[in-house]
Amino acid sequence: MKNIVLIGYMGAGKSTVGIQLSDRFQIAFEDTDQVIEKRQNMEISEIFEKYGEESFRTMETELLAQMAERKGRRVIALGGGTPMRFENRERIKSLGTVIYLRAKPGTIMERLSGDTSRPLLRGGGARQKIEEMLKERGPVYESLSDLIVDTDGKAFENIVDEIGGFYEAACNKRTEP
Ligand code: S3P
């Protein structure tokens, strides 16, 4: 049985959905941003300020490599930019069942309103930044995913049910003779 790997843009709901999935399947939840923050003893925005984005991306790549070595299964929420490094992509696929939580720019704006923790969306023009990044990132997220879940206007509970059903079916398929 493999991990459940959640990918998608900032504000897509990866952490909320991830925690609920971990409850449902009674497996641990891990959020790569949180692991990196704990290791560095700094918030993501401070890491960006102090070391720059590239260093943060390298921390993500190193963490992915470590996750690939581990046994057991978990729900893993990846940072929105992790799939954008080419070298991370095979590793993401090999980690488990990859679920893309897709959200439209309007939904993302709503979910992130008042949030100041995302350095890439600081400094104004958030809507345009989101639209431009989604154009680049959307096809990559899609290409890596085993399941795409459109999250706009959906309750998290329903999203969790959809993913849970898909994951159970995927696990049963694997164990069939
Ligand atoms: C980023 C997403 C963030 C965090 C960092 C950069 C991105 O994670 O890793 O701010 O490039 O999309 P979330 O997707 O969990 O917000």
pTM of the predicted model as reported, rounded to 2 decimal places = 0.96
Q: Would the CB of 44 count as within 6 Å of ligand 1?
A: yes
- Cβ proximity of 14 and 6 under 8 Å: yes
DSSP helix, strand, coil percent of the chain (3-state; round to 5): 60, 15, 25
What CATH number has the domain bearing residue 10? 3.40.50.300
Name the residue range of residue 159's domain. Answer: 3-175
Q: Which atom of ligand 1 is nearest to the CA of 12?
A: 14
- Cβ proximity of 160 and 17 under 8 Å: yes
Q: Which atom of ligand 1 is nearest to the CA of 8?
A: 14
pLDDT tens-digit profile of 123-167? 889 999 999 999 999 999 999 999 999 999 999 999 999 999 999
pLDDT tens-digit profile of 48-93? 999 999 999 999 999 999 999 998 999 999 999 999 999 999 999 9
Tally of domains within the chain: 1
